[in-house]
Structure 1
Amino acid sequence: MSRLSDVNDFHTIGGTYHPDTKDLEGNPSPDAPYSHDGQHPIVADKLARKLSARQVQMIAIGGTIGTGLFLGTGRSLATGGPASMLIAYLIVGGIILLTMLALGEMAAFVPIAGSFCTFAGRYVDDAFGFALTWNYWFNDAVSTAADLVALQLVFSYWNTNMPGWALSLIFWVVLIFANIVTVRAYGEIEYWLSLLKVITITIFIILGIAVNCGGNTEHKYIGGMNWNIGDAPFVGGIGGFASVFVSAAFAYGGTESIAITAGETANPTKNLPRVVKNVFWRILIFYILSVLLIGLNVSYNTPGLTQRSSSVSPFTLVFQQAGARAAGSFINAVIVTSVISAGNHALFAGTRLLYSLSVDRHAPQVFGKLNRNKVPWVAVLATSIVAGLCFGASFIGAGQLWTWLQNIVGVSNQIAWVAIGITSIRFRAAVKLQGKEDLLPFKNWTYPWGPWICVILNIFIILVQGWSSFSPKFSAVDFVSYYLQLAVMLVMYVGWKVFKKTKIMGLGEMDLESDVHTISDVDLAATEKEKTNMGKVKRVLNWVF
C-alpha cells in the first residue's frame, strides 16, 4: 500500500483502511476490498479524523459518567447496602480495567469505527461480529432513550409547568443536530460537559471526606456508623447483593465504547493507549471513592433512595449534609448536563456501529451514506428514531421504564465485555502464532489471564444478577429485562451463521499483516500532518517576530 501524505486520503471500509475504491468513472475498482462474504465489493466514503487528543482524553475520563452513578447509586445502596455496593463496584471496576487493557491492545493495532464489534467478526466468527454489533447498536439506542427518560425524572425536581416529555423532546432534537453536523461538534460538547462532571465529582469527594470527619450540619463524626445500622452492611441477602451488579454495569457501561472513537481519532496509536492507561485512575477516583463515601455518609434506609430523583440522590444528600442549601438545584443541574452528555455519547457510538454494519454488508447500504462533513447522517437519524420510540414508551411511567431500560443496557454491556475477552484471547493467540507480537503498539500485560477472568466473571454475573426476579416471588417483566438480550444475541448469532454458513476464523488464517501496513500508513499520515501544521505555525511566528 502506498504511503499517502494525508490521513484523509484513506477510507474506513469493512473494519480497516483502504485506498480509493473507485475508478476514474466512479465504478468499483477491481482491487476494491470485499465484504465478509467475499462476494460484494464495498464502496464507501471515509470518516474524518477530527477528534483531538484533548477531546478523546476528556471523553474517556468523564464522557460516560451519567445517571448510573448520580441516580443509580441510590437504588444500589437501598437494595444491597453499603458493603454490597462497594464490593460490586470494585468487582465490575476490575472487570472494566481488564476489558479496556484487552480492547486497547486491539484498538491501537487496528483503530476503526466498529472497534470491538468489528474485531469479533474478524478474529472470531463473522456471525459473532454480526450479532454483537446489532446487540450493541440496540444497546446504544436504548441508552439514548434511557437518558431521555432520565431527563424527565431530574427535571421534575423544579416543579415547573413545562412537562418533562417536552424537555426530553427538545434535547432529543439537540442531540440529533449535534451528531449530524460534524464530529467536531460532538467532541467539543462532550469535552465541556465531561469537564463539568469531573469537577463536580471532585468537589463531591472533598466534601464527602469533610462531612464524614465532622464537617456537617450536626458537627459530629460519622465514620462507619452507617455500616452498623439495621441490616447493614449487607442488605437483602444474596438477592440484594446480586441486584447491585446490573446497576454497576449500567454505571460503568460505555467505557468500552471510547474505542469506537478510534475511527475518528487523530494519531490513534498514540492517543488510545493513553486513554486506556487512564481508565484505572478514572475507576478508582470517580467510581470507587464516590461509592465508598456514599456508603459511609448516607444510610441505606434513607426514605426515597429508590425513587431515582435528584432530590434524594446520594450526591444531593451529601451536599446538603455539608450545609449547601442549594445542593438539590446544583446537583440537579449537573445531572441534567451529565444525562445530555451520556445521551450524546451513546448516540455517537450507536451511529458509528450502524455505519460499520452497513460497510460490512450486515445492514442496508443506505446507513453508510455520509454528508459533506463525513458524518453518517442516515445512521444518526435511524438510531435517533429507535431511541425516540423507546423513549415514547415512557407513558407507562418514567421511573419504571428507566429501571427496565437500565437492566437491558446493563446486561448488554456485560455481553460486550464477554465478547471483548473472547476476541482478545483469539487475537493475541493469532499474533503470537504468526510471530507479530513485536509489532503491537500497545501490549496487554494481563494476557492471557486477564481476558479469561473477564469472560468467566461476566458470564457468572450475567446469570446470577437476575436473582431478584425470582425472589421473593417471580416477576416476568423483570426476568425479561434481565435476560432478553441473551436470547436476542443467541438468535442473531445462530440465524446469521446458518444463513451465511460462516466458520470460526483459524488463528493462522487471520490477515494481520495488512493491518500492520495499514495502521503504519495512517500514523505516518497523521504524523506528517502534525509536522506540516507545526511548520505553518513556525512560519507565521517567524514572519511576526
Structure 2
Amino acid sequence: MIAIAGTIGTGLFLGTGKSLAEGGPASMLICYAIVGSIVYVTLLLLGEMATQYPVAGSFNAYTTRFFSPSYGFALSWNYWFNDAVSVASDLTAAQLVLQFWTDWNPWVISLLFWVFLVCVNAAHVSAYGELEYWLSFLKIVTIVIFIIVGILVNVGVNSEHHYIGGENWRIPGAPFVGGFGGFAKVFVTASFAFGGTESLGITAGETKNPSRNMPRVVKFVFWRIILFYLLSILLIGLNVPWDYPGLSNKTTTTSPFTIVFKEIGSNASASFMNTVILTSVLSAGNHALFAGTRVLYGLAVTSPQPQAPRIFSWTTKAGIPIPALLATSSVSILCFGSSFIGSGQLWSWLQNIVGVSNQIAWVSIGLASWRFRTAWVRQGRPLSELKFRAAWTWPWGPPFVVITTFALIIIQGWSSVIPTFSGVDFVSFYVELPVMLVMYLAWLFINRTPVLKGREADASDAPPSPSTSTPAPVPRRVRWFGLIDTANVDLFRDEHKDDVHDQIEDQERDLRLKGRARWLWRLYYYLA
C-alpha cells in the first residue's frame, strides 16, 4: 500500500495547481506524460539491479559500486538534502491547504505538524508504518472518487448544470500558457510530483522473495501510479480554467482537486477533499522525514569509512536514530520563512529544489545501470543469469534516461533567464548542480590516494602468491576521477540466492495458475 500511494502526495494534490496556472492544461498533460515515461524506464533499470542485488541503500549503493564512490557520496548527501527539504516543503504546503478555512497564524500550524511528525518518527518504526498504510489507503480511495466526480462534473453534473467538455482548453491563453517558458517550467513540477518512485528500490534488501516480487513491484505499481496521475491531470485540465482566481500566486496555491469538488455545489464535499489533501501532506512529510533520517544514519555507518559524523549512527534501544532524526527535521525551519515572503512563493522555490534533486537521482540510476550493464557484458556473464531483464530497454535504456533527464534539468530553468533574469528562481533551479560537483571533488580529494592506487585493488587486499609471502598484485578497480573499473568490479558479491521458502512460494503460485481457478488467481495476482 505504501508503494502504491507513497508517491501520491503534495505534488499531485497541490503542485498541479501551479502547473496549470504556469503552463496550461496541454503543457501539464504533455510534461507529466513525458516525465512519467522517463521514470518508468528508470524504474525498469533500477529493477534489474535491485532484483540482482537486493541490498540496503538501493540506487545510492549501486552508484557507489558501479559508477564512482565519490559520486555516490555526493549523491547520498544530495538525497538526504532532498528528503530534508521535502519536509519543509510539505509543512509549507500545509499552510496553503489550511488557507481554505482560515488565515490564522500559518506558522503555528507548521510548528504543530512538525512536532507531530517528529514524535511519530521518534516512536517505534511501526508507528510510521501504520500511519503511512492508512493514509495511503485514504489517498487511493479519494483519487478513485475524484476521477468519478471529475467525469460527472465535466458532463454537466455541476452547480451550473453546464456541459464543460473541452471549453477550458479553448479559453484565451490556453491550452499552452506562457509559451515555451511556461511549458518548460512544468517539468520541474512534474518531477517533484513523481519524486519518490525510485525509493521503491530502497526496500529491496527487506523484501520477501525479491526475485519475483521486485519485478512485479517495478512493473505494476508504476502503472497504477501513472494511471492515477494522468487521468487526474486530464480531468483537472478539462474542469479547471488555468486563470482560476487564486490558483497559484506568491501568497497562495489552491488545489484543483478541491476546486473540482466545489463545482458540485457542495462546500462539505470541498472541505472533505481539502481534509484528505491535508492528510496527504502529512503523509508526504512523514515519508520524507523517515527516509531522510535513515539516509543520514546510513551515511554515518558506511564502511570502511563513514561519510557522516558518527554521532548520527547512535540509536535508541528500539533502533531509532534520534540525532539523525533531529538533524533532518531541523531543516524544516525553512517553512517559517513563509511568514515573510509568502507561502506560495516559498513553496514554489522548495518545490523546484526537490524536483531537481529527484532528477539527479534518476540520472544517477541511469549512470549506475549503464556501468552495471557494461560490466556484465565486459566480464562475459550471460544475460540469462540476470534474474530480471527489461529486454526492450537494451541497450538504449541507460543513455536515454541520462540524456533526457539532464536535458530537462537544463531546459526547465528557461523562464528564470528569458525574457528577464530572476536570480532567486535561477538559484532554485540550479543550486544543486554546483553543490553536487563540490561534494564530489571534496570526497575525491580526501580519498585521493585510494583513487590513484585503487582502494579495492590495493596489494594488501590480495592473497599471497605461492612463491612468496608478499601479496600478489591484482587489477585496479578504481580509476582516475574515482570511476569504477567495469572490468574488475565484483559482480557476484551480494547476489540474491533463492532460499527454500522462495522456491516453495514459487511452486505454489505456479500450481494455482495451472489449476481450475487459474483465471481467478490471475485476476487476484494482477490486482493485489
TM range (shorter): 0.7 to 0.9
Which residue does 2:489 correspond to in 1? Answer: 510
State whether residues 273 and 442 of structure 1, in contact with CA within 8 Å, keep that contact through their aligned partners in structure 2: yes
Question: Which amino acid in structure 2 is aligned with residue 490 of structure 1?
Answer: L
3-state DSSP of counterpart to 2:176: coil
User: Per-residue CA shift, 1:218-274, capped at 9, x if unaligned?
Assistant: 223222111111121111111000011111111111111222233444444443322
Equivalent position of 1:393 in the other structure: 337
Cα distance change of structure 1 residues 525 and 262 upon mapping to structure 2, 3 Å threshold: farther
Partner of 1:454: 401
1:24-69 per-residue CA deviation (whole Å, 9 max, x = no partner) reads: xxxxxxxxxxxxxxxxxxxxxxxxxxxxxxxxxx111111211211
Q: 2:523: which partner in 1?
A: none
Are positions 1:471 and 2:418 aligned together? yes
Q: Tell me, yes or no, if the aligned pair for 2:251 and 2:345 is still in contact at 8 Å.
A: no
3-state SS of 2:318 partner: coil
In structure 2, relative to structure 1, the CA distance for the partners of 1:94 and 1:528 (3 Å cut) is closer
Q: Tell me the equivalent position of 1:247.
A: 189
Q: Find the counterpart in structure 2 of residue 90 from structure 1.
A: 33
Which of 101, 119, 131 is the aligned partner of 1:177?
Answer: 119
Give 3-state SS (helix, strand or coil) of 2:494's partner: helix
For residue 486 of structure 1, what is the aligned residue in structure 2? Answer: 433
**Shift in Å, 1:160:** 7.0
Equivalence for 2:5 = 62
Residue in 2 aligned with 1:261? Answer: 203
**Contact between 2:251 and 2:344, CA under 8 Å: does it hold in 1?**
no
CA drift at 1:70: 1.1
SS state at 2:266 partner? coil
Q: Which digits, 9 at most, give the CA deviation of each residue in 1:419-461, with x for residues without a partner?
A: 1111111112222333053343322332322222111111111
Equivalent residue in structure 1 for 2:376, among 431, 442, 455: 431
For residues 503 and 293 of structure 2, the distance between their equivalents in structure 1, rounded to whole angstroms, comes to 29
2:246, 2:252 within 8 Å by CA — same for their partners in 1? no
Deviations 1:380-407 (A, max 9, x none): 2221222x33334333332221111001
CA spacing shift, 1:365–1:436, aligned 2, 3 Å? farther
TM-score (norm 1): 0.81
1:39-54 matched pairs, under 5 angstroms: none
| Matched positions, count | 468
Correspondence 1:114 to 2:22: no
The Cα shift of 1:528 comes to: 10
Answer yes or no: is the 8 Å Cα contact 1:310–1:328 preserved in 2.
no
State the Cα distance separating 1:182 from its structure 2 match: 2.8
Match of 1:130 among 56, 73, 84: 73
- Deviation larger for 102-111 or 412-421: 102-111
Shift of 1:527: 5.1
Following superposition, the deviation at residue 279 of structure 1 comes to 3.4
Tell me, in whole angstroms, the C-alpha distance in 2 between the residues paired with 1:285 and 1:375. Answer: 36
Tell me the distance in 1 between the aligned counterparts of 2:77 and 2:423: 25
Aligned equivalents of 2:395 and 2:69: distance in 1? 23
Which residue does the alignment assign to 1:35? Answer: none
**Mapped partners of 2:382, 2:300: distance in 1:** 30
Shift of residue 310 of structure 1?
8.8
User: Structure 1 pair 282/192, CA: closer, same or farther in 2 (3 Å)?
Assistant: same
Evaluate the alpha carbon distance shift between residue 529 and residue 349 of structure 1 in structure 2; reply closer, same or farther with a 3 A threshold.
Answer: farther
Instruction: Determine if contact 1:68/1:247 at 8 Å carries over to the other structure.
Output: yes
Which of 146, 153, 159 in structure 1 is aligned with 2:102?
A: 159
Instruction: Give the Cα separation in 2 of the matches to 1:389 and 1:311.
Output: 20
Query: 1:173-196 deviations in whole A, cap 9, x for unaligned?
Result: 222232233332222211110111
Q: Does the CA-based 8 Å contact 1:71-1:309 persist in structure 2?
A: no
Task: List gaps (5 residues or longer) in structure 1.
Answer: 1-57, 532-545
Aligned residue number for residue 441 of structure 1: 387
Distance 1:432 1:462, change over 3 A: same
Q: Distance in 2 between matches of 1:229 and 1:250?
A: 28
Separation (CA, whole Å) in 1 of partners of 2:269 and 2:254: 11
Matches within 5 A, 1:11-22: none
CA distance in 2, matches of 1:421, 1:117: 12
The corresponding residue for 2:271 is: 329
AA in 2 matched with 1:441? K
Corresponding residue number in structure 1 for 2:88: 145
Task: State the SS of the aligned residue for 2:499.
Answer: helix
Q: RMSD between aligned alpha carbons?
A: 2.3
Residue 506 of structure 1 aligns to a residue whose secondary structure is coil
Paired amino acid for 1:346: A
Correspondence for 1:103: 46
Report the CA distance between 1:529 and its aligned residue: 12
1:48 matched to which residue of 2?
none
1:276 deviation in Å?
A: 0.9
Quote the residue 2:479 is aligned against.
none
Cα distance, 1:526 vs. partner? Answer: 7.2
What secondary structure does 1:509 align onto? coil
CA-to-aligned-CA distance 1:502-529 (integer Å, 9 cap, x gap): 321111221121212xx32xx6397599
1:200-219 correspondence to structure 2 within 5 Å? 200-219=142-161
Aligned AA (1:462): I
Whether the aligned pair in 2 keeps the contact of 1:61 and 1:282 (CA below 8 Å) is yes
Identity of aligned residues (%): 58
Write the distance in 1 (CA, Å) between the matches of 2:504 and 2:286.
29
Query: Does the CA contact (< 8 Å) of 1:80 and 1:235 recur in 2?
Result: yes
Q: Is the 8 A contact 1:260 1:349 kept in 2?
A: no
The reply to whether residue 190 of structure 1 matches residue 169 of structure 2 is no
Q: Does the 8 Å CA contact 1:234/1:241 hold for their aligned counterparts?
A: yes
Using the TM superposition, name which of 183-192 and 87-96 deviates more.
Answer: 183-192
Of 261-270 and 122-131, deviating more is 261-270
Normalised TM-score (structure 2) = 0.84
Task: Give the direction of change, closer, same or farther, for the CA distance of 1:182–1:509 in structure 2 (3 Å limit).
Answer: farther
Aligned with residue 313 of structure 2, among 368, 371, 375: 368
> 1:332 Cα shift?
1.4
Q: Distance in 2 between matches of 1:181 and 1:270?
A: 32
Q: Determine the structure 2 residue equivalent to 1:495.
A: 442
